[in-house]
């Protein structure tokens, strides 16, 4: 009835073949089916410029585990894949490609550049999706989306128009992150903060009309040109008398006011800070409160501008810094320079230090939009796993600033705003108006900027289901159920999806956010190109198989925590796959040609009932763990059950019944049926984690079923619950383990059989153990297995093993050949006496003790102590044997 497996498990021979079969049969595809409950996940869209890295591998393995689990539970499971257009990153790649061909992007023009970018996307944009398939992800590729496809683009435009109409989108001047190389604004997500060595320059600002000065410390002295105030704390007694006075701004002919503001930390530094509203986000807010001027001192390339630069105009920001520090020193304004290590923001693409700069851009007003997202976490509509990330989410939302959504690049969703070329009127619309509503002119030009990539990905959970149209998919599959993502992206993506969901659909886009940590190298370092410590998941798959990689990523993985990646772990995962394969092969071989039927209850032996009960309990526990998103804990329980309980114990226990099928065919049938049932359930539990090896084995074990991934998830059944038998077998395992340890310690070969006596007063337990006599004899290399209520008839010199509720005795004379053992121990006594003499000789040698390293002397003393202890034990054993 079954087919045999190949002798060795070779992932390369089965993984691509099985994945193709799954796709061809559309097992991953989901359509609206009102008779089933939906379960929906949207894949965080990887960048089209990206290649699969360990973060992607972990994130998508976790999603695949959940979707496979729910699919097997009978849910209508939909996992929507897709990719992000990655605006800046893609633009940089295409621009560099053009440069290599000697083509200037600006000379090519916007339309031709976009044509080239679409060509690039078609050629290279699918790399990461093909790599994801190697991982075995079971997402619905028929529904694959792209953030700039027609449907997503329509959603983006609709949202922009709606938010602008409601007054949530506006054009204004605020502080943004500016990249002087790429010459575009950046989102916070595109800014990496790295620790850099710098300085605090302490500068004197003379107070006009007095002989006093205020000492200010700054890490960016070049921004002094944009200072428009000095701020002190309102309650700082040192400065109350000078609030409202003016300061002379060094290196300029300007005077700036001293203002009082609670933003200042009076305990930090001198308690006085320079305020540069156009070049610092906190200073910008202070400036608004005090109606201060906003002086942008830089050009787009971070050179000092003509308007405010004076003699420093045209200099690069760092060149200007150097020149200004020299001038401050020369003019007596520089008090001191103190080394200072601090976090500096850099562009994650070109690694240029980002310049906070005031610019006219498009913004989204966030205060009102954030309120439903805050309420969602407080009323339980949205939850984080683990819960501690609630605080991070709330902290960010409760301190949210308006979101800069415009980017000075060509690739992306172009802002649907049109400027009248005669009067400057701005019209926000899906297409250029026929005439200006203000002056009647017909000359319009569309805004050159595109929208922040996060603007489109914020709509991902509902734009991928057909919004803004009221589709059946949207009605049935939305809101989605779980978002799986890393903790480093909560602020940038999760929060934007939540407030967008409420703003445009009235609902949270998902009810649970499952947070995972980073995959670090074996030393705990973040994987990076600069360190050269990145590990390519495809290399791991090529060497060990996708199942081994997936298992490694989840083993010991707790939500929200980072994990270290060791190759030894991958080897252990591969070994586990081999263990499952070999055990399954043994079972299938023993099933071959036999008609196996479900046994009557009375035909099930104690071992059968034990493993069925144990399997039943692990089904219950793993289901509960998965429902709580404890993926690592669930895997640990599956692993322990399969390796320890099933393979190492039950398969061995079942051999007696199978090998004696002629004597007791009912017991043999019961054992084979139990092997098949438990293996089938174990494969189902393991399938979400290791889909390939489990599918291949299951197709041979249950060939009448279409696919393991389409089979039903095992459920807990009270009828298999047998605590009494579990108790008996747990005692049995302790007995066998104890006897094996004794034999190992005494170097007793397996060929030497010895009688095992079990003294047990518990009648029920004793009876249960006695039934297992034949298995015990086989597994503990015993000549006999006797269970009795007392110690009568057992030799005084019997070796004892204490287990709960019983004592095990093995007669010493049956374990060893006394004459042979005396000879061995006498040789050991001679050897130890020689070692003790050698060690004493060294330690009594004054030269050795005085000249050898202290550690070496101590090591020799420890050796002597160990030899003396061993000699005492050998003498004691010999003395006991002399009496025989």
Please answer whether residues 581 and 694 qualify as being in contact, where contact means their C-beta atoms are separated by less than 8 angstroms: no
- pLDDT score for 544: 96
Rounded-to-integer distance, Cα 443 and Cα 432, Å? 9
Alpha carbons within 13 angstroms on the beta-carbon side of residue 250 total 27
Residues 6 or more apart in contact with residue 721 via CB below 8 angstroms:
613, 616, 617
- Does residue 835 share a domain with residue 708? no
Q: Are residues 202 and 339 in the same domain?
A: yes
- Kindly state whether residues 678 and 666 are assigned to the same domain: yes
- Find, among 464, 451, 463, the residue nearest to 413 by Cα: 451
Residues 242 and 281 in one domain: yes
Residue 126 domain-assigned? no
Q: Is the dihedral of CA 294, 299, 300, 303 positive or negative?
A: negative
- Do residues 706 and 587 touch, judged by C-beta distance below 8 A? no
856 is in an annotated binding site: no
- Euclidean distance between CA atoms 846 and 843, whole angstroms: 7
812 in Cβ contact with 819 (< 8 Å): no
Inter-residue contact 679 to 694 (CB < 8 Å) = no
Contacts of 395 (CB under 8 A, 6+ apart): none
Taking the C-alpha atoms of residue 453 and residue 190, their distance in angstroms, rounded to an integer, is 10
Instruction: Give domain status of residue 15, yes or no.
Output: no
- 597 and 614 housed in the same domain: yes
Cβ 242 vs Cβ 275: under 8 Å: no
Can you tell me the distance from the alpha carbon of 576 to that of 552, in angstroms, rounded to the nearest whole number?
11
What pairing do the DSSP bridges indicate for beta strands 426-428 and 519-520? unpaired
DSSP string, 312-344: GTT-BHHHHHHHHHHHHHHTT-EEEEEEEEEEE
* Token pair 């910008």: residue: 284
Give the closest residue to 772 by CA, choosing from 786, 789, 760: 786
Within 746-801, where are the H helices? 763-771, 773-779
Structure tokens, 389: 């990330």
Regarding whether 800 and 714 lie in a shared domain, the answer is no
Q: Which two tokens stand for residue 438?
A: 């203000």
Among 694, 721, 748, give the residue marking a domain's end.
721
Are the CB atoms for 276 and 228 separated by under 8 Å?
Answer: yes
Residue 120 falls inside a structural domain: no
pLDDT at 2: 44
Asked if 228 and 295 touch (Cβ cutoff 8 Å), the reply is: yes
How many Å apart are CA 82 and CA 129, to the nearest integer? Answer: 8
User: How far apart (Å, rounded) are the C-alpha atoms in residues 622 and 685?
Assistant: 8
Q: For the chain, how many structural domains are there in total?
A: 4
Domain C-terminal end among 302, 323, 356: 356
What are the structure tokens assigned to 105, written together? 């992007």
Q: Are residues 188 and 324 in the same domain?
A: yes
* Residue 577 resides in a domain: yes
Q: Does residue 789 share a domain with residue 852?
A: no
Q: How far apart are CA 317 and CA 342, in angstroms?
A: 18
Which one, of 260, 276, 256, 515, lies nearest residue 382 by Cα? Answer: 515
CATH code for the domain in which residue 842 is found: 1.10.287
Domain at 296, CATH number: 3.90.740.10
Alpha-carbon Rg for the chain, nearest whole angstrom, is 37
- What are the structure tokens assigned to 732, written together? 């049995």
* Structural domain containing residue 244: 184-356
Q: Nearest-CA neighbor of 673 among 607, 772, 581?
A: 607
Q: How far apart are CA 361 and CA 448, in angstroms?
A: 11
Domain containing residue 579: CATH number: 1.10.730.10
Mean pLDDT by 10-residue block, N- to C-terminus, for the chain (884 residues)?
78 95 97 97 93 91 98 98 93 92 92 95 91 96 97 97 97 90 81 84 95 92 96 94 95 95 90 94 94 94 93 94 96 93 80 89 95 96 94 90 92 96 90 88 92 95 97 98 88 90 97 91 76 84 96 89 86 96 96 93 93 96 97 97 95 92 93 98 98 97 95 96 89 91 84 90 90 89 91 81 84 75 79 92 89 87 87 78 64
Handedness of CA 493, 494, 498, 504 (dihedral sign): positive
Q: Flag whether 171 is in a domain.
A: no
Shared-domain flag, residues 747 and 806: yes
Cβ–Cβ under 8 Å, residues 401 and 499: no
Residue 764 lies in a domain: yes
Identify whether residues 704 and 830 lie together within a single domain.
no
Task: Report the run of H or E that residue 84 belongs to, with start and end.
Answer: none
| CATH number of domain containing 744 | 3.30.2320
Distance CA 470, CA 504 (A): 12
Q: Quick one: pLDDT at residue 488?
A: 79
Distance in angstroms (rounded) separating the CA atoms of residues 179 and 177:
7
Cα separation values, 413 from 33, 80, 430, 513, 696, Å: 34, 22, 12, 28, 45
Q: Cα(406)–Cα(178) distance, rounded to whole angstroms? A: 12
- Helical (H) or strand (E) element with 70: helix 54-72
Do the domain assignments include residue 742? Answer: yes
Nearest Cα neighbor of 170 from 359, 360, 363 is: 363
Which among 841, 849, 617 has a CA at the least distance from the CA of 725? Answer: 617
Q: Does 713 share its domain with 730?
A: no
Question: Which of 758, 784, 816 is the last residue in one of the domains?
Answer: 816
Which three-class secondary structure state does DSSP give residue 384?
strand
Asked if residue 705 and residue 604 are part of one domain, the reply reads: yes
Provide CB contacts within 8 A for 564, sequence distance 6+: 520, 521, 522, 523, 524
Cis peptide before 508 (omega within 30 of 0): no
For residue 41, with 0-12 CB atoms within 10 Å meaning exposed, 13-18 middle and 19 or more buried, which class applies? buried
Residue 786 placed within a domain: yes
839, HSE (Cβ side, Cα atoms, 13 Å): 19
Nearest-angstrom CA–CA distance, 510 and 79 = 13
Per-residue exposure over 726-747, b if at least 16 CB sit within 10 Å of its own CB, e if not: bbbbebbbbbbebbbebbeeee
β-sheet with 799-803: strand ranges across: 782-788, 754-759, 806-810, 799-803
- Would you state the pLDDT for residue 248? 96
């Amino acid at each position: 009835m079954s087919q045999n497996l190949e002798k060795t498990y070779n992932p390369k021979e089965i993984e691509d073949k099985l994945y193709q079969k799954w796709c061809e049969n559309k097992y991953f595809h989901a359509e609206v089916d009102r008779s089933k409950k939906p379960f929906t996940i949207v894949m965080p869209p990887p960048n089209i410029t990206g290649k699969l890295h360990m973060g992607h591998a972990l994130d998508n393995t976790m999603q695949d585990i959940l979707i496979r689990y729910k699919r097997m539970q009978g849910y209508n499971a939909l996992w929507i894949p897709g990719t992000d257009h990655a605006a800046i990153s893609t633009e940089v790649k295409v621009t560099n490609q053009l440069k290599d061909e000697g083509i200037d992007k600006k000379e090519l023009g916007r339309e031709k550049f976009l044509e080239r970018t679409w060509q690039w996307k078609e050629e290279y944009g699918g790399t990461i999706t093909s790599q994801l398939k190697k991982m075995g992800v079971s997402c619905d590729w028929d529904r694959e989306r792209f953030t700039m496809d027609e449907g997503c683009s329509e959603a983006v435009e609709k949202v922009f128009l709606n938010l602008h109409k409601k007054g949530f989108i506006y054009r204004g001047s605020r502080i943004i992150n500016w990249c002087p190389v790429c010459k575009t604004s950046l989102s916070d997500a595109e800014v990496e903060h790295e620790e850099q060595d710098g300085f605090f320059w302490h500068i004197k600002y003379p107070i006009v009309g007095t002989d006093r000065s205020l000492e200010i410390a700054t890490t960016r002295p070049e921004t002094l040109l944009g200072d428009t105030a000095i701020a002190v704390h309102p309650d700082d007694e040192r400065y109350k008398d000078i609030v409202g006075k003016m300061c002379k701004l060094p290196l300029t002919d300007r005077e700036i006011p001293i203002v009082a503001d609670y933003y200042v930390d009076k305990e930090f530094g001198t308690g006085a800070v320079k305020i540069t509203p156009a070049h610092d986000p906190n200073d910008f807010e202070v400036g608004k409160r005090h109606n201060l001027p906003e002086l942008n001192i830089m050009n787009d390339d971070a050179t000092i501008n003509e308007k405010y630069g004076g003699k420093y105009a045209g200099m690069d920001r760092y060149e200007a810094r150097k020149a200004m520090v020299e001038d401050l020193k020369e003019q007596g304004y520089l008090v001191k320079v103190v080394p200072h290590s601090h976090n500096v923001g850099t562009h994650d693409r070109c690694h240029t230090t980002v310049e906070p700069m005031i610019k006219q851009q498009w913004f989204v007003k966030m205060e009102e939009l954030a309120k439903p997202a805050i309420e969602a976490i407080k009323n339980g509509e949205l939850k984080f796993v683990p819960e501690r990330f609630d605080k991070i989410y709330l902290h960010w939302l409760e301190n949210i600033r308006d979101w800069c959504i415009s980017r000075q690049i060509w690739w992306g969703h172009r802002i649907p705003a049109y400027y009248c070329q005669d009067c400057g009127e701005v019209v926000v619309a899906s297409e250029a108006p026929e005439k200006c509503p203000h002056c009647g002119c017909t000359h319009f030009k569309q805004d050159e900027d595109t929208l922040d990539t996060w603007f489109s990905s914020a709509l991902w959970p509902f734009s991928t289901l057909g919004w803004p149209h009221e589709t059946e998919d949207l009605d049935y599959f939305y809101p989605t159920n779980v978002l799986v993502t890393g903790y480093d992206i909560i602020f940038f993506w999760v929060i934007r999806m939540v407030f967008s969901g409420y703003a445009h659909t009235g609902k949270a886009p998902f009810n649970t956010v499952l947070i995972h940590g980073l995959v670090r190298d074996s030393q705990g370092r973040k994987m990076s190109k600069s360190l050269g410590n990145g590990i390519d998941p495809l290399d791991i798959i090529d060497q060990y198989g996708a199942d081994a990689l997936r298992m490694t990523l989840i083993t010991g993985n707790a939500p929200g925590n980072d994990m270290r990646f060791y190759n030894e772990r991958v080897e252990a995962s591969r070994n586990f796959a081999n263990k499952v394969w070999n055990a399954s092969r043994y079972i299938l071989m023993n099933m071959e040609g036999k008609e196996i039927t479900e046994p009557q209850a009375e035909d099930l032996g104690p071992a059968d009932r034990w493993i069925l009960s144990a399997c039943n309990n692990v089904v219950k526990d793993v289901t509960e763990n998965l429902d709580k998103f404890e993926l690592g804990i669930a895997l640990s329980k599956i692993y322990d059950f399969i390796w320890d309980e099933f393979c190492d114990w039950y398969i061995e226990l079942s051999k007696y019944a199978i090998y004696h099928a002629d004597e007791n065919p009912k017991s043999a049938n019961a054992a084979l049926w139990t092997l098949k049932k438990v293996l089938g359930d174990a494969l189902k539990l393991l399938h979400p984690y290791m889909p390939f090896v489990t599918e291949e084995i299951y197709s041979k074990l249950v060939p009448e079923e279409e696919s393991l991934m389409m089979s039903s998830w095992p459920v807990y059944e009270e009828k298999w619950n047998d605590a009494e038998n579990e108790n008996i077998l747990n005692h049995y395992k302790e007995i066998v383990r104890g006897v094996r340890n004794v034999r190992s310690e005494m170097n007793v070969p397996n060929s030497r059989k010895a009688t095992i006596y079990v003294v047990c007063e518990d009648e029920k337990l004793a009876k249960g153990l006695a039934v297992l006599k034949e298995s015990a004899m086989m597994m503990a290399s015993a000549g006999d297995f006797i269970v009795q209520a007392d110690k009568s008839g057992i030799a005084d010199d019997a070796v004892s093993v204490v287990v709960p509720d019983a004592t095990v005795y093995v007669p010493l004379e049956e374990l060893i050949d006394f004459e042979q053992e005396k000879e061995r121990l006498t040789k050991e006594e001679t050897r130890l006496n020689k070692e003790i003499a050698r060690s004493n000789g060294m330690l009594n040698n004054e030269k050795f003790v005085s000249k050898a390293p202290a550690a070496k002397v101590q090591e020799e003393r420890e050796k002597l102590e160990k030899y003396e202890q061993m000699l005492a034990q050998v003498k004691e054993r010999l003395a006991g044997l002399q009496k025989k």
